[in-house]
Amino acid sequence: MAAAGPADRLVTTPFDDALVPRPRQELPEGAHHVPSWLTLEQQRWLVARFHEWATGPVPIRAARVRGHEMSVRTVCLGWHWRPYEYSRTAVDVNGERVLDVPDWMVRLGRAALVAATGDVHAADDYTPDTALVNFYEDTARMGMHQDKDERSRAPVVSLSIGDTCLFRFGNTETRTKPYRDLDLASGDLFVFGGPSRLAYHGVPKVHPGTAPSGCGLDAGRINITLRVTGLDG
């Protein structure tokens, strides 16, 4: 085979800079980041589902925390989340029951867990029964918090679409340092389970105008977290 020469630089190929792996940093045990896990086609399809879910039966809304509306808006599947509990019906919105978690989403969650951990058995017992679907406009943020309204300590699977955000992933003891800052970009998968399941985390910033063309969102950021509530009924 001929050695690559300057002429090769002029050939257009589908292997553009987006295929160059983004830098990864060491994460605490149980936390995993898989950049670009979803294809653009998969992202577009999820965005279309998001628009369906957002219209109801329980419309997307900003939850109120201690009397203040969150800047992020949320629509839920399976169980309706409000600070700091789950219910089957949206008692703080319109009293309707939320949509079920679709089977494809359970399978997607299992595939995500296997991909993130590299362990083919990681998802043998994993059946997420709720999805919190968040929409971030340019200035939306999420403060440091633990996901601890679930009774189960099964891993949380997080998928991001649209604008890149700064994601802060901390420790299980305090909202403050030590934490790691990383970018979650469109198509990225993040999983936190095991010793990291109760780590504080948050989204200090969304970077407007960074959504890749073809992801289905012109502006803003969607984040889907799949969880196991451990609740009955």
Which residues bind to ligand SIN, rule: CB under 6 A? 132, 134, 142, 158, 167, 184, 201, 203, 223, 225
Which residue minimizes CB distance to ligand SIN?
223
Q: Which stretch binds Mn ion (CB under 5 A): 25-33, 50-58, 139-147, 169-177?
A: 139-147
Listed residue (32, 140, 147, 159) closest to 84, CA to CA = 147
Q: Which stretch binds Mn ion (CB under 5 A): 58-66, 103-111, 146-154, 171-179?
A: 146-154
With CB under 5 to 8 Å by kind, the binding choice for 184 among ligand SIN, Mn ion, none is: ligand SIN
CA R_g for the chain: 18
Closest CB to ligand SIN among residues 64, 124? 64
The two structure tokens encoding residue 138: 């340019």
The two structure tokens encoding residue 150: 């679930």
C-alpha to C-alpha distances, 185 to 12, 68, 78, 150, 214, nearest whole angstrom? 25, 28, 26, 26, 14
Under rule CB under 5 A, residue 147 binds Mn ion: yes
Three-state secondary-structure class, residue 207: coil
Closest CB to Mn ion among residues 169, 212? 169
Closest CB to ligand SIN among residues 70, 115? 70
The two structure tokens encoding residue 230: 């451990």
Closest CB to ligand SIN among residues 8, 172? 172
Cβ-contact 146, 174 below 8 angstroms:
no
